[in-house]
Amino acid sequence: MTTPATDHRVASDAAGSGGLRLLDITLTLGDGDTAVTALDDVGLTVAAGEFVAVVGPSGSGKSSLLAVAGGLLKPTSGTVHIAGAELTALSDKERTAARRRHIGFVFQQSNLLASLTVREQLLLPLHIDGRLDAAARTRADELIDAVGLSHRAGSRPHQLSGGERQRAGLARALMTSPAVLLVDEPTSALDRVRSAEAVQLIAEQTHERGTATVMVTHDTAIMDAADRVYEMVDGRLT
Ligand SMILES: Nc1ncnc2c1ncn2[C@@H]1O[C@H](COP(=O)(O)OP(=O)(O)OP(=O)(O)O)[C@@H](O)[C@H]1O
């Protein structure tokens, strides 16, 4: 019996050949008179182990870029490839599974689950995938330590400051060693020292684990840590 094409695609994803590729991406949001071209013929290739920063003014399309790259929004046209698999060709269910396994998101709002402790937030994705073992627990504790939250591992989100919530979100995103890490303005709620540490941790994980990382930001200081910097203007990447 031959393997169905979709299984094949997900399997090649899991092989972790790495990298993120956006080809000829256009995204139109809204319709009629209110339609906005949020992304205008965008192409971007990020190799495994590469850290790319995207800077640009508010409303230029940076969040839209991350949403399309991570399969949260379907582009109006164009294709997204992650670790050699075409994300845009997967069914909704397959895309959700691919996202959980291979893509890490760090949003401006940390999107933590209110009822779970910091440690539980990190373990949940592995629990869902049936991959929760001793090594996963050790990695969770290492990451919680790396973001300076060891003393908060048993705390729930309402017991944390905004900066602590963001760091918990970062540790959670790194937990599965994703092929692709998508980071939206990680530094806004962090003080400067914490912010530099968070960016340093992202850069380290990118290079050590071969993650393809895209970070969108207003913060020009982040550009120094990035391997390449792009500018986004009116939905176009230059
Ligand atoms: N749901 C929507 N419907 C219509 N237009 C939208 C929608 N969401 C965003 N837009 C528009 O798309 C454009 C790109 O928005 P996006 O959020 O990607 O920009 P951004 O660069 O991330 O901005 P910021 O830095 O302020 O977060 C903006 O003009 C925005 O107003």
Q: In what order do the strands lie in the sheet with 20-29?
A: 36-46, 20-29, 77-82, 85-86
- In-domain check, residue 27: yes
- In-domain check, residue 236: no
Cβ contact 22:43 at 8 Å? yes
Give residue-wise pLDDT tens across range 19-34.
999 999 999 998 888 8
Which residue range is the domain that position 35 belongs to?
A: 5-231
133 has pLDDT over 60? yes
CA of 65 to the centre of ligand 1 (A): 10
Confidence of residue 71 (pLDDT cuts 50, 70, 90): very high
- In-domain check, residue 237: no
CA of 60 to the centre of ligand 1 (A): 7
Confidence of residue 120 (pLDDT cuts 50, 70, 90): very high
Cβ contact 171:149 at 8 Å? yes
Q: Which stretches of 149-190 are DSSP H helices? A: 162-174
Report the C-alpha gap between 129 and 192 in whole angstroms. Answer: 36
- In-domain check, residue 179: yes
Q: In what order do the strands lie in the sheet with 103-106?
A: 103-106, 180-184, 212-217, 51-55, 228-233, 236-237
Residue 11: which CATH number? 3.40.50.300
113 has pLDDT over 80? yes
Given the DSSP bridges, would you call strands 36-46 and 20-29 parallel, antiparallel or unpaired?
antiparallel
Give the closest residue to 114 by CA, choosing from 66, 158, 79, 177: 158
- In-domain check, residue 238: no
CA of 56 to the centre of ligand 1 (A): 12
- In-domain check, residue 15: yes
Residue among 34, 36, 107 whose CB has most ligand 1 atoms within 8 A, to mutate: 36
- The number of folded domains in the chain is 1
